[in-house]
Structure 1
Amino acid sequence: MNMVENARWDSSLSFILAMIGASVGLGNIWRFSYVLYSNGGGSFFIPYLIAIAIMGIPFLILEYGIGFSFKDSFTNIFKKINPKFEFISWIIILIIFTIGVYYVVIIGWDLAYLFSSFTFSWGNDPALYFTKTIGGSSNLSNPISFLIPTTLCVVFVWFLAWLISHKNLNEGIAKFSKIAIPLLFVMMAGIIIYALTLQGAYIGIETLIKPDWNMLLNINVWLAAFSQILFSLSMGQAIVVTLASYLPEDSKLIDNVFIVVISNSLFEIFTAFGVFSILGYMSFNSGIPMIQIISEGTGLIFVVFPNIFNIMGPIGHILAPLFFLVIFFAGMTSIIGMMEPVINSVLHKFKMSRKKSVTIVCAIACMFSLIFTINIGSYLVGIVDEFANTFGILLFVAIQCIIFGWIYDIKSLIPVLNENSRIKVGKTWVIIIKYVLPIFIIIMWLMGVSNLLLNPELINLIVYSIITVLILTASGILYKIKS
């Protein structure tokens, strides 16, 4: 236990790279470009930047300050503020654990496609390949049959996560981040630069950034901007608090926030240009209108892009492995950061070594992940993803604003935050945390929940109920266990 209690980043660079790794993930690559396109194109940058200014940066500053001040596990921090709050903290930790369970499955899909990209074994119908071999479908007639390629890849991903995380902080996460993040950025830069030179790239870029100023009057566009920032920066997921708890005393907290936010935003914006340049190439060469090509999520990565690589000729055999390797690195850096709060909280709760804590968490998570490698795996991933993000994260960001802003003396963080930082915070920051964010996020949560519960399918309700019961029961047990 002492090994992690006394753990400190060996440099600010290690922390910044680990934070960037935790933030830059699959959503930056397959989600942001579609959000930008479907919410007004170039005009979307106005609510996007405002969301960064009044939600992303202020809340990250809060998380940095809390982690740095307490230098303890996420659950212990809540317990120190009020012993009863430990129950809430375990719910948050287990929701993050749930997200990690299915997030690894998506990384497993990508790894399977990475292997397939050398021979294009997805054939002429990548959609059929995905449903039959990798991700499955919503066909409930034969749900229990395992998709062996995905099963093997998921086990390997969890083994790799264990291999990195079970070492001490600087030999494991820090060293991996110092290698993975520069490689990730260099590889993505190469893809983007090449994509911009493709025939028809201009079609995609024009489609992406063509502004629709009337969309600024649509409340859903603003909600989309705030939602993108919320998930893109891993806000409220205990990741930032945990990684910041390892910072040395002379850290420039607020300055680091700006470095991470700027890096994350530049990555997803330039990635969107690369993605739409390639989609523009597809439209130019196939004659298919852009509106029929544009997709998001698994449809974009595992169906549209393989189809594009199929028509690229020899260069496709170079670009495809590089593309899926970039996604793999982005996924791995994110899952390592995502599991750290879980590992650290278990470690402190049960007073065990880091290696033992990592082994237990990864083994249990791997067993749950295997549930999503059956024939309806992608269908289940979609259901659980909606539950975790709509019911869970939004609500608990608001709760954390209330706990840290109203019950904990948030003003006591101001001297800590400002001490070594060139950028300072004051009363305005406190007002945002105490009033603006809770109100806005609760509105977002209520709208999300109402949409989710509007005519839901029976299987969705069953899955929601099972997850809720499991999380609440496990949180109650962990809360009752005396540490």
Structure 2
Amino acid sequence: MSERQQFKGRSAFIFAAMGSAIGLGNIWRFPYVAYEGGGGAFIVPYLVALLTAGIPLLFMYYAIGHKYRGSAPLSFRRLSRGTEAIGWWQVGISFVIAVYYAVVIAWAVRYIGFSISQDWGEDPEGFFGGEFLQQSGDFSIGGGFVAGVFVPLLLIWLFTLIVLRMGIQSGIARLAQVFIPVLIVIFVIFVIQALRQPGALDGLNALFTPDWGALASSDVWVSAYGQIFFSLSIAFGIMITYAAHVKRRTNLTGSGLVVAFSNSGFEILAGIGVFAALGFMAHASGVPVGEVVESGIGLAFIAFPAIISTMPGGALLGVLFFASLVLAGITSLVSIVEVVIDAFEDKFNLGRTASVAVVGGLMAVVSLVLFPTTTGLNLLDIVDNFANNFGIVGAGLVSVITLGWGLRRLRDLSGHLNAISSFKLNWGWLVMLTVVTPIVLGFMFISEVVDRIQEGYGGMPSSYVGIFGWGVAIGLIVIAIILSFVPWPKGVVERERELLTTGGER
């Protein structure tokens, strides 16, 4: 990799990694998961998950990318010939996630304007699915295009590809260095505005009052591990890709700790803001907070518009909230698309312009064709579920088992990190990755497989689930295996030998 394609310093890398980690899930998923998991008591399993799985996995992927200096497939190929498919699996997951993730950002862009005029009227739910998305409810592909989604989605993709064409430092790092501070400032103002409303304290009490009995439930612990796993951008290939662009003497473990705890800090801040707003909604409606709690799309595009319509000065709250979603979403989207572009640059010896135009352009086309349509919401729902719960969890599980038990390469990776970093890894790190993490991820994966086989998904037709759920999840594995058999350019093979001889230093 050329010097042009490196982060110019440690702070640039940290901001880029934070931009990837802090995404939509921090704002609309963590507060709900914490509330359902025992409120204040949830902090215990959350911290345990962070320390025993989140940070250890983060360090593992940093080490792979930094030592072997390539995209996810190339780094895995340099680690061991037979593991390249794991890298391509992660690339495929990133491809799928990016094409629908961009759509949610486009919705948030429109809702900034809707917040000012409160276009949803008295029925935010009906407006979202009906007038705005124009959903037919059909379980199919196609239908009419929805211009109100297509246009902002096109702009999101153009912006993302321009940033990626500018490269690692000038594009990705600078974007994060601007957007992350702005995001934090905007969200702090949002939190202050929410806390000023009547009922806000009731919302905070609902979130933080501990239910210690919840800790006896295995579901709560699995939820904590799931939240950490998804929010830190683990097993997407992102941290391998970013670490490969870091200079060889960068303090990676110290950087990882900053990223991990900054991500968690933002999640707690999001919980405060969201539940303060929900507390106001409950107060205004005369119902307990538990009756207005939502998560995900329901929280962002149905519950919050209802709050905005009721709250004095709600338009400001809405603009701040949806602007936060846009900023958090774009920095994450850029990182996800970079995984795919970087992989094809390495595999097919493409230049930056060609890879962004061809690979990034293909992703944009797929996104623009499939999702801003009258059938796009159902497709987004099922693809999101299977890409996350089978793709990401499965790829993470296979990674730790392969490296920890199959190849036994974790000690080599810890040695690489210890040689350049301030926070040293010891036997505890190895135990976490060889025992704790495989058990938790294995339980999550098997439970999800059993549930989907027995219950289907969301009341959707089995044929639809089979094609766009199981079909996508299994198809990614098949494609990954096929791509792993495509020969690498000759120069890449020579570079591999050099890396294996020098221990990954340039």
Which category describes the TM-score, using the shorter chain as reference length?
over 0.9
TM-score for both structures, normalised by structure 1:
0.95
Contact 2:50/2:228 (<8 A) preserved: yes
- Structure 2: any 5+ residue segments left out of the alignment? 489-506
3-state SS of the aligned residue for 1:419?
Answer: helix
2:81 matched residue in structure 1: 83
Aligned 1:346-361 pairs, distance under 5 A: 346-361=344-359
1:138 CA displacement: 6.7
1:465 CA displacement: 4.2
1:481 matched residue in structure 2: 486
- Structure 1: any 5+ residue segments left out of the alignment? none
1:84 CA displacement: 3.2
2:450 matched residue in structure 1: 450
Superposed CA offset, 1:26-74 (max 9, x none)? 0000000000111111111110010001001111111111111111111
- 1:160 equivalent to 2:167? Answer no
Q: Which among 101, 104, 112 is matched to residue 103 of structure 1?
A: 101
1:185 CA displacement: 0.6
Separation in 1, partners of 2:139, 2:417: 56
2:501 matched residue in structure 1: none
1:273 matched residue in structure 2: 272
1:294 CA displacement: 0.9
Superposed CA offset, 1:299-343 (max 9, x none)? 111011111111223x22222112111110000010111111111
2:116 matched residue in structure 1: 118
1:305 matched residue in structure 2: 304
Contact 2:89/2:395 (<8 A) preserved: no
Separation in 2, partners of 1:209, 1:175: 36
1:389 CA displacement: 1.1
Q: Which among 35, 38, 41 is matched to residue 40 of structure 1?
A: 38
1:61 matched residue in structure 2: 59
- 1:334 equivalent to 2:347? Answer no
Counterpart amino acid of residue 351 in structure 2:
S
2:320 matched residue in structure 1: 322
Q: Which among 17, 27, 30 is matched to residue 29 of structure 1?
A: 27
Superposed CA offset, 1:93-132 (max 9, x none)? 1112101111111111111212322322222211111112
Separation in 1, partners of 2:425, 2:404: 14
Separation in 1, partners of 2:230, 2:237: 12
1:8 CA displacement: 1.6
Superposed CA offset, 1:200-254 (max 9, x none)? 1101001111211111110000000000000010111110111011111221111
2:428 matched residue in structure 1: 428
2:213 matched residue in structure 1: 214
Change over 3 Å in CA distance of 1:136–1:54 after alignment to 2: farther
Change over 3 Å in CA distance of 1:69–1:460 after alignment to 2: same
Separation in 1, partners of 2:158, 2:2: 22
1:390 matched residue in structure 2: 389
Separation in 2, partners of 1:328, 1:54: 31
1:470 CA displacement: 4.3
2:466 matched residue in structure 1: 461
Counterpart amino acid of residue 378 in structure 1:
L
Separation in 2, partners of 1:184, 1:40: 28
Superposed CA offset, 1:444-471 (max 9, x none)? 1101111122231312122124424643
Change over 3 Å in CA distance of 1:441–1:324 after alignment to 2: same
Q: CA RMSD in A?
A: 1.8
Separation in 2, partners of 1:218, 1:470: 34
Superposed CA offset, 1:120-161 (max 9, x none)? 222221111111243454721896122211111111111111
Separation in 2, partners of 1:103, 1:222: 27
Larger deviation, residues 155-164 vs 412-421:
412-421
Separation in 2, partners of 1:254, 1:339: 25
2:476 matched residue in structure 1: 471
Separation in 1, partners of 2:402, 2:445: 17
Separation in 1, partners of 2:304, 2:346: 44
2:411 matched residue in structure 1: 411
Change over 3 Å in CA distance of 1:138–1:291 after alignment to 2: farther
1:430 CA displacement: 1.4
Larger deviation, residues 158-167 vs 396-405:
396-405
Larger deviation, residues 457-466 vs 50-59:
457-466
1:297 CA displacement: 0.8
3-state SS of the aligned residue for 1:124?
Answer: coil
Counterpart amino acid of residue 413 in structure 1:
L
Larger deviation, residues 126-135 vs 387-396:
126-135
Q: Which among 339, 361, 364 is matched to residue 363 of structure 1?
A: 361
3-state SS of the aligned residue for 1:122?
Answer: coil
Larger deviation, residues 123-132 vs 408-417:
408-417
Counterpart amino acid of residue 425 in structure 2:
V
Counterpart amino acid of residue 468 in structure 2:
V
Change over 3 Å in CA distance of 1:250–1:80 after alignment to 2: closer
Contact 1:72/1:245 (<8 A) preserved: yes
2:234 matched residue in structure 1: 235
TM-score for both structures, normalised by structure 2:
0.91
1:438 matched residue in structure 2: 438
1:145 matched residue in structure 2: 144
Counterpart amino acid of residue 419 in structure 1:
A
Contact 1:3/1:353 (<8 A) preserved: no
Separation in 2, partners of 1:475, 1:415: 29
1:431 CA displacement: 2.0
Contact 2:386/2:473 (<8 A) preserved: no
Contact 1:138/1:379 (<8 A) preserved: no
3-state SS of the aligned residue for 2:455?
Answer: coil
Q: Which among 125, 129, 134 is matched to residue 127 of structure 2?
A: 129
Counterpart amino acid of residue 79 in structure 1:
R
3-state SS of the aligned residue for 1:453?
Answer: helix
Counterpart amino acid of residue 276 in structure 1:
F
1:188 CA displacement: 0.6
Superposed CA offset, 1:423-442 (max 9, x none)? 21111211221222112211
- 1:374 equivalent to 2:373? Answer yes
Counterpart amino acid of residue 60 in structure 2:
L
Aligned 1:3-22 pairs, distance under 5 A: 3=2, 7-22=5-20
2:47 matched residue in structure 1: 49
Separation in 1, partners of 2:37, 2:247: 41
Larger deviation, residues 163-172 vs 408-417:
408-417
